[in-house]
C-alpha cells in the first residue's frame, strides 16, 4: 500500500522529470573559462613544440661537428667552405673556369672592384687546389667526377654545398629531386671519380662521414651538387645549413657563401636574404675594406669592421655552422657578443654612419636572434 501524501508524490515525480539546461549566462561563463585556458595553454604548447624542433636542429649540428672531427682526423684538416672542382685538373690554367669563378664573384657575390675581383678569384682557385691536393695527395690530375667518361666539366661549390660534398662524397642524382651521396672512390689515383656501374674500379667507395637524409638534400642552383636543409621548414621555405671554414688560421672568408636572388635563380627561392621593408639584399662590410658580403655571413666576437685590424671571429681556428632558425632568415651576420650580454647582436654606430650594413636599421638584426649555430649552444638569443 502506498502511504505517500499527494504532495510527496508530486515531489517524487518531479525529481525524476527532465532537468533544465544551462542558462545563457552559464554557457557564456564556461566558454569564457575555456577560452582563457586555451589562451594560456596554446602559447606554452607552441613554445614547447618550437623548442623541441630547435633542439633537434642543435643536436644535428652537434652530429655534424662529430663528422667534421672525423674528417679532420682522416684527412688532416677541416674541409674548406668554398671549393672549385675541375675535372681536367688544370684549374688556374683553365680559362673557362677562371672566367666562371670571376663571374661568380661579380654576379653572385656582388664584388665590383676589379682588383678585389681578380684577387678573390685567384685566392679561391689556389686554395681549392691546395686543399684537394692535401686531402687526396695521390690523385691524378684528371678526375671523371660525374661519371660521364669526360674530363671537361667544373663546379663552384659554396659553403652549404661544400659541407655536403666533403662529408658525403660524390653525389649521384637518382631523379630530378633525389640524390644519393656515394662517398669518395677508394682508388688512390681517382678519389673524385663518380660511381659508374660500367667502370668497376669506381664501385669500391668510402662510407660518407655523415648520414644525410635523402629527402633533405636540395640542389638550389641546379648544378648537381645538393645542399642539406634543416628540419624547421617545408620544401617551399627550406633553408640549408651554412658552413664557413676558418682555414685553421683565423681567416674566415665572408664570400664563401652568398645567396643572391637577384643574380641567381634558386629553387626553392631563398628570398629570406631580403629585407621585407626595403626589398634590398642583406649585406655587411667586414674589416672595412673587404667589400660587401651578401647574406649569409659568419660571426665575430667584436665589431665586424674594427679600425686598423681584421675582425675577431667566433670559432677562430675551426668553422661555423648556421641554421636560419624558425623565421627562415639568416640576416647579415657580424658581431655576436654572447647570450650573457644585454645586447647579444649589437650594431656599432659606425656601421650605420658608414653604411657598413644594409638595411640601415638597428632593428634589422632581430631576424638573427633565432639563428641556431655551433658556437651559441642553440639560438643566438
Digit-coded pLDDT (tens) for 297-338:
999 999 999 888 889 999 999 999 999 999 999 998 999 999
Domain contains 5: no
Structural domain contains residue 107: yes
User: Which residue range(s) make up the domain with 196?
Assistant: 47-379
Question: Given this model, what pLDDT does residue 20 score?
Answer: 65
Q: What DSSP letter does each residue of 129-193 carry, written as one string?
A: HHHHHHHSTT--S---SSSSS----EEEE-HHHHHHHHHHBSEEESSSS-EEE-B-BS-TT-TTP
Q: CB–CB of 258/108 below 8 Å?
A: yes
Spatial contact of 228 and 78, defined as CB atoms under 8 Å apart: no
116 or 264, greater pLDDT: 116
For the stretch 87-143, pLDDT in tens is 999 999 999 999 999 999 998 888 888 999 999 999 999 999 999 999 999 999 999
Is residue 234 included in any domain, yes or no? yes
Residue 242 domain-assigned? yes
- Give every CB contact of residue 241 below 8 A, 6+ residues apart in sequence: 61, 64, 160, 163, 227, 228, 229, 230, 321, 322, 323
**pLDDT exceeds cutoff 90 at 234:** no
Of 151, 160, 74, 88, nearest to 125 by C-alpha is 88
Q: Is residue 224 part of a domain?
A: yes
Candidate from 43-57, 60-74, 75-89, 196-210 with smallest mean pLDDT: 43-57
Share of the chain above pLDDT 90, in %: 62
Q: Is the pLDDT of residue 373 over 60?
A: yes
Q: What is the largest CA-CA distance in the chain?
A: 119
Q: What is the pLDDT of residue 94?
A: 97
242-245 and 319-323 strand pairing = antiparallel
234 vs 239: CA distance, rounded Å: 9
- pLDDT reported for residue 70: 98
CA distance 52 to 41: 16
100 Cβ contact list (under 8 Å, min separation 6): 154, 156
Q: Mean of the pLDDT values across residues 220-246?
A: 92
End-to-end Cα, the chain, rounded Å: 83
Question: What is the value of pTM for the model shown?
Answer: 0.88
For 211, residues 6+ apart whose C-beta sits below 8 A from its C-beta are: none
Q: What residue has cell string 681536367? A: 88
Residue 93 within a domain: yes
Instruction: Please determine, for residue 6, whether its predicted confidence score (pLDDT) is greater than 70.
Output: no
Q: Report angle CA 64, 322, 109 to the nearest 5 degrees.
A: 120
More confident residue, 289 or 164: 164
For residue 2, the model assigns a pLDDT of 54
For residue 227, is it within any domain?
yes
Q: 257 with 243: CB under 8 angstroms?
A: yes
More confident residue, 41 or 119: 119
CA distances from 74 to 78, 79, 129, 218, 349 (A): 10, 11, 19, 27, 45
- 331 contact partners, CB below 8 Å, separation of at least 6: 282, 295, 296, 364, 365, 367, 368, 371
Output phi, psi for 258, to 5 deg: -135, 125
What's the structural domain count of the chain?
Answer: 1
With respect to residue 42, please indicate whether it lies within any of the assigned structural domains. Answer: no
Amino acid at each position: 500500500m502506498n502511504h505517500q501524501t499527494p504532495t510527496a508524490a508530486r515531489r517524487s515525480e518531479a525529481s525524476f522529470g527532465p532537468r533544465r539546461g544551462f542558462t545563457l549566462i552559464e554557457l557564456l561563463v564556461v566558454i569564457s573559462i575555456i577560452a582563457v585556458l586555451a589562451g594560456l595553454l596554446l602559447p606554452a604548447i607552441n613554445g614547447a613544440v618550437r623548442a623541441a624542433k630547435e633542439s633537434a636542429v642543435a643536436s644535428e649540428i652537434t652530429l655534424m661537428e662529430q663528422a667534421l672531427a672525423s674528417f679532420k682526423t682522416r684527412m688532416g684538416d677541416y674541409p674548406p667552405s668554398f671549393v672549385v672542382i675541375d675535372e681536367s685538373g688544370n684549374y688556374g690554367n683553365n680559362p673557362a673556369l677562371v672566367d666562371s669563378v670571376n663571374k661568380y664573384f661579380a654576379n653572385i657575390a656582388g664584388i665590383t672592384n676589379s682588383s678585389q675581383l681578380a684577387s678573390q678569384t685567384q685566392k679561391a682557385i689556389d686554395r681549392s687546389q691546395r686543399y684537394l691536393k692535401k686531402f687526396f695527395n695521390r690523385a691524378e690530375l684528371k678526375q671523371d667526377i660525374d661519371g660521364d667518361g669526360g674530363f671537361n666539366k667544373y663546379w663552384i661549390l659554396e659553403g652549404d654545398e661544400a659541407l655536403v660534398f666533403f662529408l658525403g662524397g660524390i653525389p649521384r642524382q637518382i631523379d630530378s629531386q633525389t640524390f644519393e651521396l656515394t662517398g669518395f672512390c677508394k682508388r688512390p689515383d681517382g678519389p673524385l671519380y663518380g660511381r659508374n656501374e660500367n667502370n668497376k674500379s669506381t664501385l669500391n667507395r668510402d662510407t660518407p662521414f655523415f648520414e644525410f637524409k635523402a629527402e633533405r638534400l636540395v640542389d638550389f642552383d641546379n648544378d648537381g651538387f645538393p645542399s642539406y636543409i634543416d628540419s624547421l621548414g617545408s620544401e617551399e621555405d627550406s633553408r640549408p645549413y651554412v658552413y664557413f671554414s676558418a682555414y685553421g688560421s683565423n681567416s674566415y672568408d665572408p664570400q664563401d657563401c652568398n645567396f643572391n636572388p637577384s643574380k641567381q635563380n634558386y629553387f626553392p627561392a631563398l628570398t629570406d636574404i631580403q629585407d621585407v621593408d626595403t626589398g634590398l639584399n642583406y649585406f655587411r662590410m667586414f674589416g672595412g675594406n673587404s667589400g660587401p658580403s651578401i647574406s649569409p655571413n659568419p660571426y665575430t666576437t667584436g665589431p665586424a669592421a674594427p679600425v686598423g685590424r681584421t675582425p675577431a671571429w667566433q670559432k677562430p681556428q675551426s668553422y661555423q655552422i648556421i641554421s636560419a632558425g624558425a623565421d627562415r632568415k639568416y640576416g647579415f651576420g657580424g658581431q655576436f657578443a654572447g647570450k650573457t650580454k644585454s645586447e647579444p647582436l649589437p650594431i656599432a654606430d659606425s656601421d650605420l654612419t658608414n653604411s657598413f650594413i644594409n638595411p640601415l636599421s638597428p632593428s634589422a638584426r632581430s631576424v638573427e636572434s633565432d639563428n641556431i649555430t655551433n658556437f651559441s649552444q642553440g639560438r643566438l638569443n
